[in-house]
Structure 1
Amino acid sequence: GISKAVDGVSFTVDQGRSIGLVGESGCGKSTLVKGIIRVLAGNGIIAGGSVRFEGNDLTQMTESSIRNIRWKDLSLIPQAAMDSLNPVYPVIDSFLEILMLKGKLNRAEATKRAHELFTMVGLDTKRLRYYPHEFSGGMKQRAMIALALALNPKLIIADEPVTALDVIVQNQVLRVLKNLKKELGLTLVMITHDISVVAETCDDVAVMYAGKIVEIGPVSRVLKNSTHPYTMGLANAFPNLKKTEGT
């Protein structure tokens, strides 16, 4: 029979704002975002509902039509971002492929844009000629963020972009995302199981549990006035360094 990995989920992201989808492993976060851009696994289907993007229902678009808006309008930083770069080619080749095939730039224009993107995320442009194994985890993550920004998309979906990084590098990567959101007016959907990441980077938060959204609203309100037991558990799972003992 059919097993519903995600069911009855509904949320809205206004232009220029960011929402965090937070929940435990297996709750349906990644399945939800893969459904939004229609890159579900072969045994996955969208059985009902709609995904509205600029007035169009993405679930009703043909494969060729939605392929035209992926990366240009909708971009994904995948969950395994550190393993998403082709290991047998220099990193610049990934940028040239996207910029020339999807962006219709010539090689000189694409190379210039790749340098701009690397500078934007704080990477030395000389490293464009390096291979992925010559990058640290944080560098790979920044490179994938730059690749997601290549064609100036209107919406970026970041699927657990800092999960595999240590806390120092996490902070650096999150700071890059926050600065880019402010400078470029990005609309961002951040998927994570770390409520502190959402608290630092997002305007709104949707808490997922067992394939459903159980709580949603502005970050400060949801964290301060949680009503669902799972949200309360998440909020209590990390310490408040500003709180003194007994308060």
Structure 2
Amino acid sequence: METEDPPGVGLLLREWRRRRKLSQLDLALRADSSTRHLSCVETGRARPSREMVLKLAEHLDVPLRDRNGLLLAAGYAPAYRESPLDSERMAMVRSAVRAMLTGHEPYPAAAIDRIWNIVDRNDAMSLLLGTVPPHLTEPGGNVMRLILHPDGLASQCLNFAQVRAHALGRLRHQADTTGHRDLRELYEEVSAYPAPPGLDADPGPVDPTGIVVPLRIRTPLGDMAFFSTIATFGAPADVTLSELAVESFFPMDEQTDTVLRSLAAMGPAGR
């Protein structure tokens, strides 16, 4: 049974260039090359040097994981290691993430990987996930599934349509700009989830007075409203680190802030 050969580095580079909506001239100027040489590379008539592959990948903003793929396709060894998060080499990273998560309390925060799986979280996240069934939270859960699955936070979300539209738009953009199959599969999965009974999936018009799309949820302690930020590590040289992010939730009103601080004062037993 014949199998197709993997695409060469030229085809992969052309794919990334088109994904970034750049012409050959645009990329050649950025990489201090010529359109003739770039054309020869893309058509396979010229083999780029290792340095040229890395330079083109940098100007195309290619993720580190895919830069390694480009190097392998060109016949070179990968340039970036991929260290397991629980390895000794990543001990400093784990400590930094843990400090960020605990330092954000009494507000919820979680560390996520490139496909939105939760790899660590602080105690305050239990407030958001306390009523979510185990099949969505074990071993750590996936942010997109937690938000959009009808058994997850979707059933408690007071502005589900707006949150769904924002989450799917973000995930679709990420899948389109990276081309990663697992992100596309996640998008196809969560976009097919039905809305919880009684909730409309149509987001309606955008609120022109808003500055962010909030997450408004109903809890046993009252309605709460959050907005979130995402932080990444600067100048990563490891694939795992380049794909790690910390999502931090902040209260949008005084009631939410008061509830969170009261829970923190009560300790784990109060949650």
TM-score, normalised via structure 1 length = 0.24
Q: Which has the larger radius of gyration?
A: 2
Which protein has greater RCO, CA pairs closer than 8 Å, 6+ apart?
1
TM-score, normalised via structure 2 length = 0.22
